[in-house]
Amino acid sequence: MVSQNYKLYDRNVKETPLAMQLDIAKVLNYRDKLQQSQQEEQTAATQDFEGLLTNWTAFEGEGYKGTVKVAHCDMVQLREKMEDRLPFTLCIMDFPSGYNTEGSVDDEESFCRPQIEGSIASFKKIACAPYWVIAGFCSSDMLTDVKSAFSYACNCGVEVGIWVAPNISTCASLKLTSCWQRCVIGFYRQSASREPIQFQFSDSATRMTCWSHNAVARKYIFAADNEILCPYQKPISLYEWLIKKFSDPNDSYIVDVFSGSGTRAVAALLCKRNVLVVESDLRV
């Protein structure tokens, strides 16, 4: 019908009623936009994501500032992707384990201590700052290995915090006590004493600190396949808290390991930090 009307419009513009001309123009405009959108989705699905942001790229706008570099690789291969060592003061690792989501990488089995130690060793090879912090979110069955590996690498001690999601509830609106995840935090400094600028846990506390941030209700969807980009996606506010508490605010660099949805990179820019994103999934 559109095609027939378009021919009529093309041959007899002056004889076609004005209302019909407007309707045809709207339909053709909608068709063109739909075709353009479909072409963009096809391009996104076939694009070589490995070439995006492989160099440090600056971002700046209202409320955010920083540079971003993406390394599409396994953590143990990171040194090969970096030309120079940089003053990284914070490394955040969100170890994927437990969801068993189809298409997830290294999801069925927990990380063992040698793998955790290998990730830490790769970070140390690219960092030149005199002090730094490693924060690792992990499942309960990984806690012992993560604490052990962090303790070995961090000469200023290790703390354990808990992220609690108060917005998670049952159908009866009762809060679930299991809506939390542990985060191991390791401190390193060349002088073997914690940097005063870093967040200090209270000695009078039980050495266990809870951080309350609402869980993500709607996770990011990858447009090309309409699938959840990362089942482990955590709130930006949680990462902002970590970045502000444990990284140097003066032109600081952080490492986002097992990036997943990329929300840590967003948080880093909101905190005006430079961030190295490490992720093997080319969709990120």
**140 and 31 in a common domain:** no
What is the model's pLDDT at position 176? 45
In a domain, 147, yes or no: yes
Does residue 273 register a pLDDT over 70? yes
Q: Are residues 91 and 11 in the same domain?
A: no
Residues 9, 60: one domain? no
| pLDDT tens readout for residues 34-78 | 777 766 665 554 444 455 678 899 999 999 999 999 988 888 888
CA distances from 263 to 40, 51, 234 (A): 24, 20, 7
Do 232 and 138 reside in the same domain of the chain? yes
Q: What is residue 100's predicted lDDT score, i.e. its pLDDT?
A: 47
> How many structural domains are present in the chain?
2
Label residue 167 by pLDDT band (50, 70, 90): confident
In degrees to the nearest 10, what's the CA dihedral of 182, 185, 186, 189?
180
Encoding tokens for residue 176? 């679930």
**Predicted confidence (pLDDT) per residue in 109-133, tens digit:** 778 889 899 999 999 999 999 999 9
Residues 19 and 89 in one domain: no
Does the global pTM surpass 0.85? no
Q: Is residue 283 in a domain? A: no
75 vs 256: CA distance, rounded Å: 10
> Residue 86 gets which letter from DSSP?
B
Same domain, 54 and 164: yes
- At residue 97, the pLDDT reads 64
Instruction: Look at residue 284 and tell me if it is in a domain.
Output: no
Over 70: is that where the pLDDT of 2 sits? no
The pLDDT of residue 120 is: 94
Residue 53's domain comprises 48-278
Q: CATH no. for residue 89?
A: 3.40.50.150
pLDDT greater than 70 at residue 283 = no
Residue 6 is predicted with a pLDDT of 47
Question: What was the pLDDT predicted at 229?
Answer: 64
What is the residue-averaged pLDDT of the chain? Answer: 77
Q: Does residue 169 sit in the same domain as residue 265?
A: yes
Which pLDDT belongs to residue 177?
44
Interval 194-215: pLDDT, tens? 877 666 666 555 445 778 887 7
The per-residue pLDDT for range 82-108, each reduced to its tens digit, is 888 999 999 999 887 654 445 444 456
pLDDT the model gives residue 40:
64
Dihedral (CA of 76, 237, 142, 283) sign: negative
Rounded Cα distance, 277 and 70, in Å: 5
Residue 26 lies in a domain: yes
**In this structure, is residue 188 part of a structural domain?**
yes
Instruction: Give the three-state DSSP class for 144.
Output: helix
Q: Are residues 232 and 268 in the same domain?
A: yes
Residue 258 has pLDDT above 60, yes or no: yes
Residues 221 and 242 in one domain: yes
